[in-house]
Amino acid sequence: MRILGVDPGLQTMGWGVIEVDGSRLRHVANGHCTSETGTALGLRLMGLHRQLADLLVAHAPDTAAIEQTFVNRDGAGTLKLGQARGVALLALAQSGIEVGEYAPNTVKKTVVGVGHADKRQVEHMVKMQLPGAVPAGADAADALAIALCHAFHLQGARAMARARA
């Protein structure tokens, strides 16, 4: 199974693709979708959508996961993050794949073991769990962590379904 993780952002949207085969995890690719500050918001969102749509075609994931929006003190920043997340959700929905949504603390707790881990800890654990992975930056490392979180949650759900059957 191929999983795409997305860390939404208006300036930099991180993405990461992993493959899951039983309990084996393998890094496929990672990077950033970017938009240029100073450009009209609609054009920035359209550019992010196109880049993500191209990634969906290029990597053909079976499922995806995205980080939920967290609310911070900057209301305008939270709104822009939500708009970028909405564009990502639109691209994922248009591709027809199911999408898991995870709170930032859930991702960190799943991948690092601590819900308030910092970015260095997340990147370190991503590299430990995906040998050979070289994240293109903190946002790409976060996206890989989101994909890992989704993989672990899917494995847990499957195990529960088997136990019930």
Could you give the residue numbers annotated as active site?
7, 67, 139
Distances, alpha carbon 110 to alpha carbons 5, 46, 75, in Å: 14, 32, 28
pTM: predicted TM-score of the whole model, two decimal places: 0.92
Is 7 labelled a binding residue?
A: yes
Q: Is 139 annotated as a binding residue?
A: yes
pLDDT at position 164 is 79
**Among 31, 65, 29, 71, which residue's Cα sits nearest to residue 48?**
31
Residue 44 is predicted with a pLDDT of 96
CATH number of 2-164: 3.30.420.10
- What is the structure's pLDDT at 75? 80
> Which two structure tokens, joined as six digits, stand for 43?
């054009």
Which H helix or E strand runs over 15? strand 12-21
Domain ranges of the chain: 2-164
Over 90: is that where the pLDDT of 163 sits? Answer: no
> 71: pLDDT confidence band, cut at 50, 70 and 90?
low
